[in-house]
Amino acid sequence: MVEKGLTGNMDLVAKILEALLMRGHEEEALGRIDLLISSQCNVNFDNLLSILSEKGKTIAALKLLDFGLQRDCDIDFKSYDKVLDALLAAGKTLNAYSILCKIMEKAGVTSWKSYEDLIKSLNQEGNTKQADILSRMIKGDDKSHENKKGKKKASVAA
């Protein structure tokens, strides 16, 4: 349909993508999303991520979020939070850690409130190295944010 330039019934496309992701056909869904993006069609990542997270399809949500981050797609911070919360609730702490690092690298600091819960879970599971790295990343972001403010004030005062 998209290959032939037909863009009618795009609401059905969203339902097809959702069904593919819900049934575990992530690679096929991601291939179709890639085709849609290359054809200048909009894909509502936020809606798909929300549905997948709410229904406990954490691996599909993780793959979709990773795909969106790799291609610099427009994804709301609330969607990041939903996926991270779902991963943490499902006990998939290493996956949550991995995608959080990618989010922080690509999109900067998130408003996610469960950093401490993830660090605690990583420590409890024996992943102390990842917990230490994450706590340093968070503290580093706080310090770099303060340093930027401090530099601005110093340059204004000079």
pLDDT tens for 45-87 read 999 999 999 999 999 999 999 999 999 999 998 999 999 999 9
CATH number, residue 92: 1.25.40
Q: CA–CA separation, 97 vs 100, rounded Å?
A: 5
Within a domain: 38: no
Within a domain: 6: no
Within a domain: 8: no
Within a domain: 62: yes
Predicted confidence (pLDDT) at residue 106 exceeds the cutoff of 50: yes
Q: CA–CA separation, 115 vs 103, rounded Å?
A: 13
Q: CA–CA separation, 85 vs 16, rounded Å?
A: 25
Please state the rounded mean pLDDT for residues 88-109. Answer: 89
| Residue 138: per-residue pLDDT | 80
Within a domain: 5: no
For residue 146, give its domain range: 46-157
| Residue 151: per-residue pLDDT | 36
Place 6 in a pLDDT band, splitting at 50, 70 and 90. low
Place of tokens 């949500």: 61
Within a domain: 52: yes
Count helices and strands (H / E) in the chain. Answer: 8, 0
Tell which residue, 121, 42, 50, 40, has the closest CA to residue 82.
50
Number of domains in the chain: 1
Within a domain: 21: no
Indicate the pTM of the whole model: 0.79
Within a domain: 133: yes
| Residue 4: per-residue pLDDT | 53
Please state the rounded mean pLDDT for residues 123-140. Answer: 90
